[in-house]
Amino acid sequence: MKCSGFPPLFLVFLSACWSCSATVADAAEQKPNVLLICVDDLRPELNCFGADYIQSPNIDALAARGRAFHRHYVQAPTCGASRYALLTGLYGPGSNNAIFGRAKLQAEDSAPVPPSMPAWFRKHGYTTVSVGKVSHYPGGRGGPDWNDEAIPEMPFSWDRHLMPVGPWQHPRGAMHGLANGEIRGDAGKMDVFQSTPGEDTIYPDGLTAETALEELRTLAADSTDKPFFLAVGYIRPHLPFGSPTKYFEPYEKAALPPIPHPEKPQGETTWHKSGEFMKYNRWDRDPNTDPEFATEVRKHYAACVTYADTQVGKLLSQLEASGVSDNTVVILWGDHGWHLGEHAVWGKHTLFEESLRSPLIVSYPGISEPGKSTNSMVETIDIFPTLCELAHLPMPEFAQGVSLVPILNDPAAPGHPAISYQTKTQTIRTDTHRLILHSNRPKELYDHTTPEGETRNLIEEQPELAGQLVKLLRERLPKQ
């Protein structure tokens, strides 16, 4: 997918954003370190994002000393395409093979392919390390078990890219692993959720956390001579929803709020049958027709969020203990949202709000108005230029996002419309509306200022507005 360029007004906004230069490096002679934390399938199901029944104290504490972006939208509702946008700063293909497709182009001729975000930092003097699931496959390699050194997902990007696997044998086993080394073979024979007594390391993210702590200690010790860009990716709360029992116990008797708009939408939309969820063993139960089962699923998802939050907390504690927190930019990013029954969907892969909105938190010493969240609309591709400005690196001219430093300086500063896509479908989200443009089906138009939100298609009632949004969308992305 090739971007056809930004509209004039957007370029003015882009220029204004890049003119700001209040960064964390202003307070230090050396370049700041970067700690990027990626959490898989994490919707804004966090206490600091308004889900007061969720226990997420470590991420909440990060938000309290940084800036939480409450209207951050990913480029795609699927792991590979969303992480492509994060790691390149570019709109791209909507498929899960987006990153490997880029690697194939680099193997043929690397010159025309813009460098990735970690490659850009590496080029400018950083040690770059990834641990866990940062690109699409945990560990960043291909092959049958995702551990083939000859098939990197992100060539020229990492000094080290690591994936501890323990009893799960290989990254493929860890990706969908349950307790104590259980590997997914036939998904129908693996439980969709699980709660097992034990330490954090009985699930794969516990091992990822331990390796990340080791890397952080090493990188911090060397950071006076060379700054680091450390990216750590946690798998939970990705399916199957497994976590140590201690994380499920707080939710066993918890009262959860009702699921908003749980009905299947009418008309042609991006609704689907929740195949990724339904293929697991569900004991012949369907959360769309069994409210008690729906609640159980939601509680196990919540337990996985709290488990992931604990792994984040370990990393942040080690950052403090290593003595480099006063010169480190921390980003926490969810790779996309996840439906928990809204629109009768249990999963991602739609272009509804629940699939596309995810948490984004930016924190660094000296941030203006720490703890004050923002409702300014932003996109994942904005992270690359933001980190470059905060680190005083040259701004990558090829990046298609804008720096968020103006919003980091002032949480009331304006945002901009957000673009997302699947392989054959595109959407634009403005402050008030969402337009979904299909290649071979009627359009969808939703008004977020009304109680109906994304349950009432207004395409027949507001054709002029739809036309304006189609024009803006096609100025940013090519016609399909």
Tokens of 384: 């690359």
Say if residues 92 and 98 touch (Cβ distance below 8 Å): yes
Backbone angles phi, psi at 221, to 5 degrees: -65, -30
Tokens of 374: 């923002």
- Is 79 in the active site? yes
Which 3 state secondary structure label does DSSP give 357?
strand
DSSP assignments along 293-309, one per residue? HHHHHHHHHHHHHHHHH
Instruction: Please state whether beta strands 328-334 and 33-39 pair in parallel, antiparallel, or not at all (unpaired).
Output: parallel
- The rounded Cα 343 to chain-centroid distance in angstroms is 21
Say if residues 67 and 372 touch (Cβ distance below 8 Å): yes
CA 455 – CA 271 distance, rounded (Å): 12
Residues 144, 149, 153: CA angle, nearest 5 degrees:
80
Say if residues 259 and 342 touch (Cβ distance below 8 Å): yes
CA 163 – CA 147 distance, rounded (Å): 9
Dihedral sign for Cα 89, 90, 92, 98, please. negative
Catalytic residue (choose from 70, 72, 136, 336): 136
- Is 3 in the active site? no
Catalytic residue (choose from 38, 48, 79, 304): 79
| Residues contacting 440, CB < 8 A, separation 6+ | 424
Tokens of 236: 């939970």
> Which one, of 74, 62, 164, 99, lies nearest residue 349 by Cα?
74
Three-state SS across 22-39?
Answer: CCHHHHCCCCCEEEEEEE
Tokens of 480: 């399909």
Residues 142, 273, 430: CA angle, nearest 5 degrees:
85
Q: Looking at the annotation, which residues are catalytic?
A: 79, 136
